[in-house]
Structure 1
Amino acid sequence: MASTLPKTMRGQFLEAFKKPYTLRTVPLPKPAGPHDILVKVEAASYCHTDYVLAEGQMAPLPNSFPHIGCHEFAGTIVSHSDSPSSQAREFKSGDRVGVPGRAYHACGTCFECQGNKDPVAADDKGYSVHCLHAENNGLSKDGGFAEYCVVDARQLAPMPAVLTATETAPLMCAGITIYAALKRCRLERGDRVGIMGAGGGLGHLGLQYAVKMGYRVLGVDAADAPLKLAESLNTGAKLIDARSTKAADVVQQLGAEDGKQETGESGLDAVIILPESQQAFDYAMTLLKTHGKCVVVSFPEKGFHISARDVVFRDISIIGSLVGSNRMLREMLNFSAEHDIRAVTKSFPLAKLNDLVEEYHKGGGGKLVVDLALES
C-alpha cells in the first residue's frame, strides 16, 4: 500500500495563537522510528483542549508553528517504518484503529514507564500514557486535522467492527477521559454518581457509561441545549438544571429516596467535574455525601477554590483524572461497542474546520467531528 501513497497531503494548520486554521498542502509525513505507523485519517474530533491550545493557554505548547491540532482521531493504517518494532508488527496495513493523544514515543525507562501501578493508568512495563518524556499528538506534535498522521503503535486501539471512524474518534479523548474518571470513583453497582456538565462532549458519554456500569446517575448542567441533548439520550439518568434547582434541595430529595435522615449520609457517593466553572465545582461539592469523592477532569486557567472545611470536616477526597491506559482505552472501546454507546456528533469536512470551531462556541453539547469522507 505504501507504494501507492501520495507525495503530499492537506492539513489544517495553526499559524499563531488566536488565529483561524489555515488549510495547506504539505509533503506526506513518513514513519521513521521502529514504533512509527502512518495512518490515513478518516475522522478527527474537536476537543475543548484544541480550543485552549489555540488560545495560547497551554504555552509553550505547541512547540512550534505552523501546527496541526487534534488528539482524538481514527483511521486506517497505510505503512510502517523500514524496521518496525514487535508492537508495530501487531498492526497490518488496512487495520482500522483509534488514535489517542498520549503517549507518542514514550521513553520506556522513566519511573512512569517502568513502575506505574495505578490500575487506571498502568500499562505493561516499558510504556505509560504518563511518560515524562513522551510527546502528544495534536499538542506537542502534529495531530489528526490532516489527511495523514504518523503515530506510535503503542498508542493504538483496534476499532471494533461495529464502530465507524466518526463514532470512534470522539472516544479517543472524550470517551477514555470520562470512562477513566468513572473508574477513579471506585464505585459499586447501585452507588450514586453525579456528572457536572452532563450535556457536553464528555458528559453525555459519561451518562451512558455510568448507567451501563450499573450506577444511579445524576446529570447536572446549566444551559438549555446541553440539557436537551442529555434528555434525548433516554438513559434513565436523573437530570438537574442547576440554574433552577439548589444543590441542597437535590441532596434532600436523594436522601428521601434512599431513606436517609442525616444530611451527611444523603447525596452522591462521587461526582465528576467537567465544566471550568467555580459555580459547578461548589454545586458538586454540596451534592456529595460525607466521605464522598470529587474527581476533577477540567483545568480552568485560574484553578478552583477548594474549601478546607469540606476536605477536613466532611472527609471529601479530591482526585485528578487525565486519561486512561492503552489497556483501558481498548476496554472502553469494547464496552462502547457492546453497550451501543455513541457520541452525539455533527460532522464537517476538513476544509470547514473553522466553521466547526464557530459551531463549538455556540455550546450546543455533544461532539463536533471532521469527517474526511465529506466533500469540501
Structure 2
Amino acid sequence: MVNIPKTQTAATVPKLGGGVVFVHDYPVPQPGHNEVLAKVLYSGVCQSDLHTQAGIAASANGTPIRNVKLPHVGGHEGIGRIIALGPGVDEDIKVGTYVGIRFASRICRRCNFCLAGKEQHCIKSTNHLHHEDGSFQEYIALDAGYLTLLPDDIDPVVTGPVLCAGLTTYKAVKNCNVKAGDSVVVVGAGGGLGHLAVQYALAQGAIVYGVDGGVEKGEFLKSIGVTGYVDFTTTPNLTEKIHEITHGGADAVIVTAANPKAFAQAAEMLAVGGTLSCVGIPAERGFLETPISTIVIKGLHITGNLVGSLKECLEAVDLVRRGIVKPKVTVRPFEDLPKIYEELERGDVLGRIVLKIAKDE
C-alpha cells in the first residue's frame, strides 16, 4: 500500500506577475470519481508557463489571459506514475503505469471537435495551465477518461517535453504536409520547440534549415542534422538568405520562436505553394506583414498549431521512444524554477529544461 501524504511541495503563483512561491504544505488532491492520483516525477518548463504566471499569455484575440485559477500551479509537460485509483476507474488502468500530464486536462467528448479527433479545441475543455493545477507539484489528480497512458519502456526524463513541445511541433510538421525532399526552415530552431520541429521534419525525410542566434546553437543544430544554419544576428536580410540556400524559397517555414519579429516576414521565405506554420505564441500582439498579393499570387498556406490530439501525442512519443527523435534536455532541481524563468526570458536556453520533481525517484 502506497503511503500518500496529506501535503506536498508546489510551485505556486499567488497572483499573476507576482513571481513563484514554493509552498511546502500544499494539499495533496484526493482522486474523485473516475480519477487517478499520480506522483509527478519530471516536468518540462514551457514558454507558456513563463507567460501565464507573468500574466502576459496571449488569448485567441491577442489580449492577455486573465481567467487563471489562483493560486496558479503551472506545468503541462509532466511525467508521473499512477499511485492510487479513485472510484469508478476502468480495470485496465493500473497502479504503477507511467502517465503524461499534458496541456489538455478534461474534454466533453461530445462536441464536433471531440468527435472529429480534434479534442484540443473542445468547447468545454479545461487545461493544466489556466484551469487546473499542473505538474509543478509532487502529486496530481487526473481524469481517468482522458489519460495519457505511456509505455513502460519510455525514458521519463526526456519524454515530458514531448507532451507539449514535441506534440505541437509534430503537429506542425503534419499540418505542413512535409514529405521526403521538401525544404523546411525552422525559425527558433535551437530552442525547446525548435530542435524538436527540426527532428520531426527530418523524420519525414525533409531537408531542414535552422534559423536562430549564436554560434553555440548553430553547432548544436548541425549535430542533429540540419543542412544549413542561418544566424539571424549576423544576417542582414533573412528572407533573401533563405531564398538563396533553398534555391527559390522553402516548401515550409515553421516559426517556433515566441517573438513577433520572427513571424513578420516569415511567409515571404516560402516558395510557390509553400506553408507557413505558426507555433510560438508571442506575449504581445504580433502580426504577419506579408502583402496579400504575395499570399494570393504565390498560393501560400498559413496554419496555426494548438498542441494536438491524444492520438497525435502518442505518435510523437513513439518516435522518441524508438530513438528517431531525441529531445535535448537539461535536468534541474525543482527549486530552480524561478531562475529558469529568467533564463527563458533572456533566451539563454538550449533545448528544453526538465525539472526533477520527485525527490526519491
TM over 0.5: yes
**Contact 2:178/2:201 (8 A) holds in 1:** no
Distance 1:199 1:162 in 2: 27
The reply to whether residue 277 of structure 1 matches residue 259 of structure 2 is yes
The reply to whether residue 367 of structure 1 matches residue 352 of structure 2 is yes
Alpha-carbon distance change, 230 to 19 in structure 1, aligned in 2, over 3 angstroms: farther
Q: Spell out the pairing of 1:141-290 with structure 2 (5 A cutoff).
A: 141-231=132-222, 233-245=223-235, 246=237, 247-255=239-247, 266-290=248-272
Aligned pair count reads: 348
| Structure 2 unaligned blocks of 5 or more | 58-63
Distance 2:185 2:205 in 1: 13
**Contact 1:197/1:221 (8 A) holds in 2:** yes
Q: Give the C-alpha shift of residue 283 in structure 1.
A: 4.4
**Contact 2:82/2:98 (8 A) holds in 1:** yes
SS at match of 1:57: coil
1:274-324 CA-to-partner distances (Å, cap 9, x unmatched) read 123343224432321011111111222212134212222222111111111
**Alignment RMSD:** 2.1
Provide the residue aligned with 1:353 in structure 2: 337
Provide the residue aligned with 2:286 in structure 1: 303
Distance 1:374 1:309 in 2: 57
Greater displacement, 7-16 / 344-353 = 344-353
| Structure 1 unaligned blocks of 5 or more | 117-121, 256-265
Identity %: 29
1:48-76 CA-to-partner distances (Å, cap 9, x unmatched) read 00111012124544533212111110010
Provide the residue aligned with 1:71 in structure 2: 76
Provide the residue aligned with 1:261 in structure 2: none
Q: Which amino acid aligns with 2:337?
A: L
Provide the residue aligned with 1:341 in structure 2: 325
Q: Which amino acid aligns with 2:84?
A: S
1:9-68 CA-to-partner distances (Å, cap 9, x unmatched) read 11110111222211112221011132x221100001110001110121245445332121
Provide the residue aligned with 1:258 in structure 2: none
Provide the residue aligned with 2:114 in structure 1: 113
**Contact 2:40/2:358 (8 A) holds in 1:** no
Alpha-carbon distance change, 320 to 79 in structure 1, aligned in 2, over 3 angstroms: same
Alpha-carbon distance change, 204 to 26 in structure 1, aligned in 2, over 3 angstroms: same
Q: Which amino acid aligns with 2:80?
A: G
Q: Give the C-alpha shift of residue 200 in structure 1.
A: 0.7
The reply to whether residue 136 of structure 1 matches residue 119 of structure 2 is no
Distance 2:152 2:87 in 1: 29
Distance 1:90 1:15 in 2: 38
